[in-house]
Amino acid sequence: MKKYFISTIVALIAFPVMMLASVPTGYYNAAQNKTGEALLTALYNIIKTHTKLSYGQVLTFMQKYDLDENNHILDMYSTAVYGPNDNGSSASNVGEGWNREHSFPNSWFGGSSSHKAYTDLFHLYPTDIRVNSQRSSNPFGECANGTRLSNGDIVAKGKLGPSTRSGYSGTVFEPDDEYKGDFARSYFYLATCYNDEISTWNYNQSSSMLAMNSYPVFKDWALQMLLEWHRLDPVSQKEIARNDSIYSAKSVKQGNRNPYIDYPELVEYVWGNKVGQNWTPGGSVTPTNPELTLPVDGSTIDMGSTTPGNRLTATIDVEGLELLQTLNVSITGDGFSAYPQTISAADAISGTEIYVTFNSNNPGTYTGTLTVASNEVSATVTLTAVVHGTSIDVPVATDATNINATSFKANWNAVTDAQTYTLYVSKKGYVPPTPTYTLLLEEDMSSGSTTWTAYGKTYEDAANGCFRLGTSNGSGYIISPVVNLTTSNGVVTVKTTASYYGSDSGTQMKVSVIDGNENELDSETFTLTATDAVYTAVLTGVASPINRIKIESLASKKRVQLKNVKVYAGDASTAKAVSESGDENTRTITGITGTNYMVQNLTENATYEYKVKAIGANSQSDWSNVIEVTLTAGQQYERGDVNRDGQVNVSDVTALINMILGVIPMNLEAGDVNGSGGVNVSDVTYLINIILGVI
């Protein structure tokens, strides 16, 4: 058994030397010079990737590696002597067999055998079946007069009773002193390896110890107890050997390590008395081969083509091996920009992205250079972009016709190679307000997400036309690409079209804005309905380009169905798109294929101005001249518009003939097309020539 006092001091001095020989070179480089939450995040990125074992492989591992020098099972819950094959599933008394114990109860993370934590060896241990059953899912703790099971000479290594630690009064299981440190380091490992999701593990009694956040993860009473256990029961040779086996055993290999066994002092730098001091494991460690694997040095990325004033974007992957130093990102070339400007070694090792944009108002072919470098590594990438010129002629706007009190027809000449025209109309003297919001992202999730990244339990449900967050086994969430909130002083609006799945009434969806380190800056939670509805969250991030949006389901078996997400810079909670019929002051009409357009529903008797530009396949013209038109109650019609529908076409010929034949009433003003003072066949000829363009 481990003893406190002198043995503790000796162990704390001796173990770092012993463990350094077992730690792979460069394994913890990305965690150096960090402290507190940043150190926790760096360690998470180092150990999060590992092989999920089967439950049978867990048994195989324990039978082979959880043995003492006499090949007996190292049972952490009783004094019984077990052989590797004495495992079972039930027992009435202590000493009747051992089984696999989740020291962190599996119900606390949902209980699903598909979850990686279900078979994570760093919290699974061989233990007495009966004591394991007594412990059940009760949290670890300390109790004064708990029940300790026994069977003759065989005694449990632990007791069950009411907590005596301030901060929690429920039932707890207190392991014996010799294994308290082992269990504490298991809990610190879980808080690190599953740090991206542990804040959602709100099952059964997990809330007794977990604070439902990503840092510091534990409630204060639990954290202080675990720190004490870690300090009083230092790392043993058993833990060191087991750590190495989990990392590299040939037959059953999980492939990651427990940093708090390799470097016990890390606990203090993350949670304890050295938070605020940067951690370095016995001085600097020189990587054997620092390498920047992406982007590829000397490569070229074609960002494509655009028209003046329209932006191009590209995402460039960054990945590295055994890096120690921060990478600096720089870019040259007119119109090119990149974010972020720096990338930490940890982020590069884990894999991250650079967002490159290009924008220019001038036609031409552009070249830029992106450099990603530190004193260790560097890569240079050539960027290209093309801005097509305004080769289409500028149309000429002509006088308005068919003017009345609330409408007029805008006219212009045809332009060669124009596919459509865009008309802009504005009330004279009207100054459009400065937009208070700008659409940054829109994602149609009816068949899944294409630009957002999914985490945890998610499901592409094309049959129901949605992207589902959460399954019957756990919760899930998505994170957007970065959004720039510089111009909106950090304010962002997220409009989410969503509903709950099936019969999951009471489903809650949380919408958050997070920073570059995925720290939550602001959030809003909605209780969803069974039918699709739009949920609007106005949040405050940071006035910079590093914001992201996170949307999550808050509980297992409470599933969110996403249909569409729009993200705006600014407060767009009352945003309304300008439509042709909905704005009396100004409007833009696109996609016009002819050379005129009837503008209606304007302010009565007001004065308006209009201009037009031509749109081609790959270019567009400048705006035309401006035409002023004053609306008047006395209706004015274009010559030849016999039927007064605002158009001159064959239907007017029919109306004119019917007027001459007496089928419809005579209207001298409308029918006297040639201005002769009468209405007859000569007016029909004149009208046909107008339609044919002869006149």
Q: What's the CATH code of the domain at 602? A: 2.60.40.10
In this model, does residue 579 exceed pLDDT 50? no
311 and 245, same domain (yes or no): no
Look at the alpha carbons of 106, 108, 114, 115 in this order and tell me if their dihedral is positive or negative: negative
Asked whether the beta carbons of 299 and 380 are under 8 A apart, the reply is: no
The per-residue pLDDT for range 19-77, each reduced to its tens digit, is: 343 688 889 999 999 999 999 999 999 999 999 999 989 999 999 999 998 899 999 99
66 and 194, same domain (yes or no): yes
Domain annotation covers residue 591 = yes
The most confident of 35-49, 347-361, 403-417, 553-567, by mean pLDDT: 35-49
Please give the Cα distance from 301 to 106 (Å, whole number). Answer: 47
Total count of domains within the chain: 5
Confidence of residue 1 (pLDDT cuts 50, 70, 90): very low
What number of H helices and E strands is found in the chain? 13, 33
211 and 237, same domain (yes or no): yes
**Mean pLDDT, rounded, for 417-437:** 80
Nearest one of 231, 205, 230, 208 to 219, comparing CA atoms: 208
603 and 554, same domain (yes or no): no
Residue 495: partners with Cβ closer than 8 Å, 6 or more residues away = 534, 535, 536, 565, 566, 567, 568, 572
In this model, does residue 306 exceed pLDDT 90? no
591 and 550, same domain (yes or no): no
**Mean pLDDT, rounded, for 239-245:** 91
* Distance, C-alpha 446 to centroid of its chain: 17
In this model, does residue 676 exceed pLDDT 60? yes
Asked whether the beta carbons of 551 and 566 are under 8 A apart, the reply is: no
Segment among 75-84, 89-98, 322-331, 631-640 with least mean pLDDT: 631-640
What pLDDT shows up at residue 634? 67
Furthest-apart CA atoms within the chain: distance in Å: 128
Asked whether the beta carbons of 598 and 407 are under 8 A apart, the reply is: yes
Percent of the chain clearing pLDDT 90 (strictly above): 44
Confidence of residue 609 (pLDDT cuts 50, 70, 90): very high
Confidence of residue 476 (pLDDT cuts 50, 70, 90): confident
320 and 420, same domain (yes or no): no
The most confident of 88-102, 295-309, 515-529, by mean pLDDT: 88-102
What pLDDT shows up at residue 572? 79
In this model, does residue 287 exceed pLDDT 60? no
**Mean pLDDT, rounded, for 282-309:** 73
Task: Give the count of beta carbons closer than 10 Å to the beta carbon of residue 1.
Answer: 9
* Mean pLDDT taken over the chain: 85
CATH of the domain at 447: 2.60.120.260
**Mean pLDDT, rounded, for 405-430:** 89
Q: Which domain holds residue 492?
A: 437-570
In this model, does residue 6 exceed pLDDT 60? no
Asked whether the beta carbons of 636 and 402 are under 8 A apart, the reply is: yes
428 and 451, same domain (yes or no): no
Confidence of residue 436 (pLDDT cuts 50, 70, 90): low
175 and 204, same domain (yes or no): yes
Domain annotation covers residue 578 = no
The per-residue pLDDT for range 644-653, each reduced to its tens digit, is: 777 788 999 9
The most confident of 172-176, 202-206, 276-280, by mean pLDDT: 172-176
Confidence of residue 187 (pLDDT cuts 50, 70, 90): very high
Domain annotation covers residue 282 = no
Domain annotation covers residue 89 = yes
406 and 381, same domain (yes or no): no
- pTM of the entire predicted model: 0.43
What pLDDT shows up at residue 391? 63
Segment among 82-91, 151-160, 259-268, 386-395 with least mean pLDDT: 386-395
Please give the Cα distance from 227 to 225 (Å, whole number). Answer: 5
* Strand 453-456, strand 476-479: pairing: antiparallel
In this model, does residue 81 exceed pLDDT 90? yes
Confidence of residue 97 (pLDDT cuts 50, 70, 90): very high
Residue ending a domain, among 545, 570, 595, is 570
What pLDDT shows up at residue 286? 39
What pLDDT shows up at residue 407? 86
145 and 34, same domain (yes or no): yes
- What secondary structure does DSSP assign to 472-539, as a single string? TTB-EEEEPPPB--TTTTTEEEEEEEEEE-TT-TT-EEEEEEE-TT--EEEEEEEE--SS-EEEEEEE
Three-state DSSP class for residue 28? coil
What pLDDT shows up at residue 344? 85
Q: What are the phi and psi torsion angles at 308 (to 5°)?
A: -55, 130
**388 or 185: which leads in pLDDT:** 185
What pLDDT shows up at residue 518? 78
Confidence of residue 14 (pLDDT cuts 50, 70, 90): very low
Domain annotation covers residue 590 = yes
Q: What separation in angstroms does the CA of 113 have from each of 62, 195, 555?
A: 18, 19, 17
Torsion of CA 177, 181, 184, 188, to 10 degrees: 180
What pLDDT shows up at residue 271? 96
Residue ending a domain, among 355, 387, 419, is 387
What's the token pair of residue 186? Answer: 């298991």
* Strand 596-599, strand 408-412: pairing: antiparallel
564 and 465, same domain (yes or no): yes
666 and 561, same domain (yes or no): no
Confidence of residue 669 (pLDDT cuts 50, 70, 90): confident
Segment among 103-107, 194-198, 452-456, 682-686 with least mean pLDDT: 452-456
**Mean pLDDT, rounded, for 652-675:** 88
What pLDDT shows up at residue 438? 81
Domain annotation covers residue 22 = no
What pLDDT shows up at residue 434? 56
Domain annotation covers residue 279 = no
Domain annotation covers residue 638 = no
